[in-house]
Amino acid sequence: METLKAQKKDSKKEKAIRISGAEAIIHCLLAEGVDLIYGYPGGAIMPVYDELYKFQDKLTHILTRHEQGATHAAQGYARVTGKVGVAMATSGPGATNLVTGIADAQIDSTPMVCITGQVPRHLLGSDAFQETDIVGISTPVTKWNYQVTRAEEIPEIMAKAFYIARSGRPGPVLVDITKNAQFDELDFVYEKCTGVRSYNAVPKAEPSSIEKAAELINSAKKPFIVFGQGVILGEAETEFKAFVEKTGIPAAWTILGLSALDTEHPLNVGMVGMHGNYAPNMLTNECDLLIAIGMRFDDRVTGNLDSYAKQAKVIHFEIDPAEVNKNVKADVAVLGNAKETLEMVLPLVDKKEHTAWKGEFDKMYQKEYDTLIDKDIHPTKEGLTMGEVIEKINVASGQKAVIVSDVGQHQMIACRYAKFKQSKSNITSGGLGTMGFGLPAAIGAKMGAMDREVVAIIGDGGYQMTIQELGVIFQHNVPVKIVVLNNEHLGMVRQWQELFFERRYASTVMTNPDFVKIAEGYHIKSRRVSEREDLKEAVEEMMASKDPYFLEVKVEKEDNVFPMIPSGASVSDIRLK
Amino acid sequence: MNIMEKQWYTISVYSENHVGLLNRISGIFLKRHINIESLNVSKSEIKGVSKFTIVVYTTEEWTRKIVGQIEKQIEVIKAFYHTDDETIYQESALFKIASHLLFDERQIQNIIKESNAQIVTVSRDFFALAKTGRKHEIDEMHAALEPYGIMQFVRSGRIAVSKATMPISEMLQEL
């Protein structure tokens, strides 16, 4: 054994090349299949940027206009491709500016590796210029993080970083690298990481839990599926669809599960949660079996837990053991990757149709359609609605576009009304609710899917949080389509103020600049629409454009998003108006 | 025991020896406003594997969730939780007391004998007592000595072994 190890070490040494830590970082990225990263240079990361300059034919670096933009772009890229997104920044403020994006990626399970420069090892702890304890700061919001202080550590740590970011339930990893470790040389050999002994990425599926789940599914009279991003992250779309079709069970999506199943699939009954559809929320409290697949019972999905699906048995298909029984007690927990567990359960479930039960969903959908959907997407009243803009985009894009949304009313409307035929097509900040996510995420999404149309739907509030990323769109001619739904308010907060704070509109009214002029300043084709008669043609013009395009739609200022489950209320207390 | 009833739990965490892990683990408690009553980090029965012994006073529900979050950390191999009945546990304490009291106050010698404490060192000015036992035993000894004056006092975190097996070696072999 010892000699074997020694031999292995020797052969490793033979293959080794003597390079700097900074160059090693580039080789690690290339070995992990990375060809695109987002970032912002600065003092403590300069050796790596110097190497990026030398490797620019193999590795493209996009200079975002703010480090937060780099993380969101990396997230957009990761969400649309399923690959690990990479963001890079310098120490101190560069590193702290990454934190929002890292937290967003953590709560939305997005695979991302962030590389930060750090002051040289001998200055650590001395309050040196641009020194900040980014490992300490990012600990609660990373899946894993590590500070490299010696060049020799780089290959192993980078390999581990990528493995941890992408395996199991994905998440963000931060590697902080001191400047001396970038300058110093090492004998570089790269071996991909295939496992970490203390980390069990995917729990083994228990055949007994699969059998128990199948029994419950087969005997249920009113079963109901809620599916989340686990289906997408596990690349289980085919298995999931087969499961839904064989069992005939109505299925509803969480905001991050959207696009895992064709939105027009006959068994797709819409969205659960605070602004989800009426039927799936109401019937959560009438089903006799709730089958949760790759979702984590977020409070925006469940409302008040004391009155959430109390009558139902619960099956939870989940990759992360810590999510089981965290918010909702599962009668049967099926641990494992959804692709694998759904494949295992499929032969055990009976082929069925739940016609009468599905009919209840249809009836309630009709009620919701008549009460508000029709008015949202085919309005006749004065003032443009957000819903009709989404509807026009559905038509003009043939339901094939990637829709990236920001956070707020427009996000809820986009998630309610956007139609999808393909998975990994709805990119939004779900768990963290990060305003400013949309524009940079759309850049990343477009660069990850150049063959697809990417439409960013953004509110006038969130747009101004990361508006500087227009610079990236201009400089690199990234042909994203940007739609700002401008209601001159922070719409969602204003809605809550109207409903729950007696219309005291504290700091939610916005006096906005001329967004078209700003886009023009970046030489981006742009147009403003404020009349219904111009909307269809404007959307068509935007979708037909080969170049980036900015469309501002002046929408009704004080529209509300309904249905709505008031905060802390039960899902069956959902209000249609 | 009702799952919502508070009681003492000993959480045992087997982990890799990683510099940032203590921060990660304490953050899990911090985020949920659960106080760590005592914390001890040492090596374990397995070479290269560290063991955290954490004592909390909370519900089983919360303990279970916290253990789930701890196990999720990359460097954590496995975490367990036990009630007091399920563990053998001890704490240690040191008392520093002025030497003259040993002669002036006869009762002190009785306290030392009755509490099974050890005299660790005696010098001209002070002597040091070491006491190992349950928390209440140490508390009782503290209460008995307090009227005579204690120059310094310190108590360690709880250390514990479970009555049931914690099959870590087998798990590590599988991984």
- Per-residue model confidence as pLDDT tens for chain A (577 residues): 444 555 555 566 668 999 999 999 999 999 999 999 999 999 999 999 999 999 999 999 999 999 999 999 999 999 999 999 999 999 999 999 999 999 999 999 999 999 999 999 999 999 999 999 999 999 999 999 999 999 999 999 999 999 999 999 999 999 999 999 999 999 999 999 999 999 999 999 999 999 999 999 999 999 999 999 999 999 999 999 999 999 999 999 999 999 999 999 999 999 999 999 999 999 999 999 999 999 999 999 999 999 999 999 999 999 999 999 999 999 999 999 999 999 999 999 999 999 999 999 999 999 999 999 999 999 999 999 999 999 999 999 999 999 999 999 999 999 999 999 999 999 999 999 999 999 999 999 999 999 999 999 999 999 999 999 999 999 999 999 999 999 999 999 999 999 999 999 999 999 999 999 999 999 999 999 999 999 999 999 999 999 999 999 999 999 999 999 999 999 999 999 8
Which residue in A198, A200, A321 is closest to B75 by CB distance?
A198
User: CB–CB of A322 and B65 under 8 A?
Assistant: yes
Torsion of CA A442, A443, A445, A447, to 10 degrees: 160
**Is the CB of B175 less than 8 angstroms away from the CB of A139?**
no
Angle subtended at Cα A529 by Cα A527 and Cα A531, rounded to the nearest 5 degrees: 155
User: Which alpha helices (H) appear in A285-331, and where do they start and end?
Assistant: 299-302
Q: Do B69 and A164 touch (CB under 8 A)?
A: no
Report the distance separating Cα B174 and Cα B170, nearest Å: 6
In sequence order, which residues have a C-beta less than 8 Å from that of residue B113 and are 6 or more positions away?
none
- Count of positions (residues) in chain A: 577
Please answer yes or no on whether B65 and A144 come within 8 Å at the CB atom. Answer: no
Within 10 A of A185 (CB to CB), how many other CB atoms are there? Answer: 14
The pLDDT assigned to A8 comes to: 53
Question: Hey, which bits of chain B come out as E strands?
Answer: 6-16, 38-43, 49-59, 76-83, 87-98, 118-122, 126-133, 152-155, 159-162
Burial of A367: CB neighbours in 10 Å, binned 0-12, 13-18, 19+: middle
Q: In B, which residues are within 8 Å of A146 by CB distance?
A: 20
Shortest Cα distance, chain A CAs vs residue B170, angstroms:
12
- Chain A window 117-136: which residues touch B at a Cβ cutoff of 8 Å? 135-136
CB atoms A326 and B65 under 8 Å:
yes
DSSP 8-state assignment for residue B42: E
Largest Cα separation within chain A, whole Å, is 82
Q: Residue B69, class by beta-carbon neighbours within 10 Å (0-12 exposed, 13-18 middle, 19+ buried)?
A: buried
A193: chain B residues, CB-CB within 8 Å = none
Three-state secondary-structure class, residue A495: helix
**Can you give the length of chain B in residues?**
175
Residue B18 — pLDDT band, cuts 50, 70, 90? confident
Instruction: Tell me which of A167, A198, A325 to substitute to probe the interface with B (most B C-beta atoms closer than 10 Å).
Output: A198
What is the rounded distance in angstroms from the CA atom of residue A524 to the CA atom of residue A516? 9
Instruction: State which residue of chain B sits closest to A194, comparing Cα positions.
Output: B175
Any A CB within 8 A of B75 CB: yes
Instruction: Classify each residue of A343-366 as buried b or exposed e, where b means 16 or more C-beta atoms within 10 Å of its C-beta.
Output: bbbbeebeeeebeebbebbeebbe
Rounded to whole angstroms, the Cα distance separating A547 from A480 reads 8
Q: Measure the CA–CA gap between A407 and A166, rounded to whole angstroms.
A: 25
Contacting residues of B for A199, CB less than 8 Å apart: 74-75
Residues in A closer than 8 angstroms to B47, CB to CB, are none
Contacts of A307 (CB under 8 A, 6+ apart): A285, A570, A571, A572
Structure confidence at residue A470 (pLDDT): 98
- Is B100's Cβ below 8 Å from some Cβ in A? no
Q: Do B65 and A320 touch (CB under 8 A)?
A: no
Smallest Cβ–Cβ distance between A196 and the set B31, B64, B74 belongs to: B74
Q: Which of B31, B65, B77 sits opposite A198 (nearest CB)?
A: B77
Search chain B and give the residue with CA nearest A146. B20
Q: Is A310 helix (H, G, I), strand (E, B) or coil?
A: coil
Of the candidates A273, A240, A277, which has an alpha carbon nearest to the alpha carbon of residue A259? A240
Cross-chain residue pair B74–A199, CB shorter than 8 Å:
yes
- Please name which of B133, B94, B101, B90 lies closest in space to residue B114, comparing C-alpha atoms: B133
**What sign does the dihedral A153-A155-A158-A159 (CA atoms) show?**
negative
Amino acid of residue A545? S
Task: Give the three-state DSSP class for A262.
Answer: coil
Residue in A140, A147, A320 nearest the CB of B72: A320
A135, A139, A198 member nearest B15 (Cβ): A198
Which B-chain residues 6-45 have CB contacts (< 8 A) with chain A?
A: 15-16, 20, 23-24, 27, 31
Look up residue A206 and give its DSSP letter.
P
d(Cα A147, Cα B23) in Å, to the nearest integer? 14
**Dist. CA A174–CA A135, nearest whole Å:** 8
Q: Taking the alpha carbons of A10, A15, A21, A26 in that order, is the dihedral positive or negative? A: negative
Strand order in the sheet with A144-148: A60-63, A36-39, A85-89, A112-118, A172-178, A144-148
Nearest chain A Cα distance for residue B167, angstroms: 14
CB contact (8 A) between residue B71 and residue A322: yes
Cβ pairs A/B, distance under 8 A: 46
CB–CB contact B68 A200 (8 Å): no
Burial of B114 (0-12, 13-18, 19+ CB in 10 A): exposed
Q: Given an 8 Å threshold on Cβ–Cβ distance, is B69 in contact with A322?
A: yes
- Which among A136, A144, A321 has the least Cβ separation from residue B74? A144
Phi, psi of A466 (to 5 degrees): -135, 30
Q: Do B74 and A198 touch (CB under 8 A)?
A: yes
* B27 closest CB neighbour out of A135, A139, A199: A139
Binary contact (B20, A146; C-beta < 8 A):
yes
Predicted pLDDT at A12: 61
* R_g (Cα) of chain A, nearest Å: 25
Angstroms from A199 CA to nearest CA on chain B: 5
| CB-based contact B175 A320, cutoff 8 Å | no
Element (H, E) at A48: helix A46-54
**Interface pTM, i.e. ipTM:** 0.91
In Å, how far are A109, A348, B56, B65, B69 from B32, measured between CA atoms? 21, 40, 12, 10, 11
| Of residues A250, A252, A243, A423, the one with CA closest to residue A341 | A243
A516-530: buried (b, 16+ CB within 10 Å) or exposed (e) per residue?
bebbeebebbbbbbe
Question: Residue B20: its chain A contacts at CB < 8 A?
Answer: 135-136, 139, 145-147
Kindly state whether B65 is in contact with chain A, defined as any CB-CB distance less than 8 angstroms.
yes
Q: How far apart are the first and last CA of chain A?
A: 72
Q: Identify whether A172 is preceded by a cis peptide bond (ω within 30 of 0).
A: no
Per-residue pLDDT of B102-121, as tens digits, reads: 889 989 999 999 999 999 99
Count the Cβ atoms, other than its own, within 10 Å of residue A500: 10
Q: List chain A residues with CB under 8 Å of B175.
A: 195, 197-198, 200
Closest-CA distance of chain B to residue A82, Å: 21
Active site residues of A: 67, 129-130, 179, 492
CB contact under 8 A, A322 and B20: no
Burial class (CB in 10 A: 0-12, 13-18, 19+), A296: buried
Q: A322 to chain B, minimum CA–CA distance in Å?
A: 5
Is pTM beyond 0.90? Reply is: yes
- The minimum CA-CA distance between B168 and chain A, rounded to whole Å, is 11
Chain B nearest CA to A94, separation (Å): 21
| CB-CB contact of A229 with A108 (8 Å) | yes
Other C-beta atoms closer than 10 Å to the C-beta of B173 total 8
Chain B stretch 77-96, residues whose beta carbon is closer than 8 A to a beta carbon of chain A: 77
* CA gap A544, A492 in Å, rounded: 31
DSSP structure string for A213-229: HHHHHHH-SSEEEEE-T
Contact A552, A528 (CB under 8 A): yes
Query: What torsion, rounded to 10 degrees, do the Cα atoms A427, A430, A432, A438 define?
Result: 30
Q: Do B175 and A164 touch (CB under 8 A)?
A: no
CA dihedral A414, A418, A424, A428 (to 10 degrees): 0
Residue linked to tokens 């779309």: A237
